[in-house]
Amino acid sequence: MWPLPALVMWALAWGLFWLLLWGGVQSVWALLAASAMGVAASVLGQSWWRRLMIALGFPLSLASSGVASMPAWAWLLPLLLLLLIYPLNAWRDAPLFPTPKNALNELAAHIKQAQAALILDAGCGLGDGLIALRQAYPHAALHGLEWSWPLRALCALRCPWARVRQGDIWQADWSGYDLVYLFQRPESMARAAAKAQAELKPGAWLVSLEFEATTLQPDAVLTTVPGKPVWLYRQPESPPTMRV
């Protein structure tokens, strides 16, 4: 499929740009609108470099074409839009990959939470993880935490039944939750495991999609979706033993 999504997005951005110019919109605002379309669509990319190509393809091609005269500061607008969607500290964490629809369907059979359980999707993105968690626990109190405020706003629109907040998952307190769900990346799993050990109450669960916390002993591994294992870690009643 790649690079078809990028080519389609660039063509749509160019179309919107010319349509706005034809309608009498100033070139700077046309640039902003077309760039905003590209940045919004960049969440569909499956890696950081693909997201950058989708988001910055139009403004870079416009700059190289010379078809429109822009003040120097106008070329900063696409970068500012990109930083709104992907703040600097978010680049250290997971890319925006959605949780597969049925990946957590077997979770309730292994973790029998009470109806009043408090569950956190740490780094909820556009809300796919919250939707999957709701399928598993329709009566639980679901919370989402997302650093990017535009993604947080979109997630809240998609998941009005969840409490979605803007914030840093590493600074947030996990101690009040019965289950914390993550879809991070291998490099951040050691940090997640250490935070879970330090903050989760006895009997609470850390659930990781796809990536193992190698310093913890999993209680179970689910394979509902091929290639997307779900790792379950229960906070023990006694001090945890780290694997070396």
Predicted confidence (pLDDT) per residue in 204-243, tens digit: 999 999 999 999 999 999 998 988 999 999 998 765 555 5
Q: What is the pLDDT of residue 88?
A: 47
Cα gap 228→21, rounded to integer Å: 46
Place of tokens 């190509």: 53
Q: What is the pLDDT of residue 241?
A: 55
Q: What is the pLDDT of residue 233?
A: 97
Cα gap 49→32, rounded to integer Å: 21
Residue with the larger pLDDT of the pair 150 and 170? 170
Place of tokens 């935070």: 195
Q: What is the pLDDT of residue 133?
A: 96
Q: Are 170 and 140 in contact (CB under 8 A)?
A: no
Q: What is the pLDDT of residue 37?
A: 84
82-99: average pLDDT: 60
Residue with the larger pLDDT of the pair 7 and 232? 232
Instruction: Go through the domains of the chain in sequence order and give each one's CATH number.
Output: 4-86 (no CATH), 107-234 (3.40.50.150)
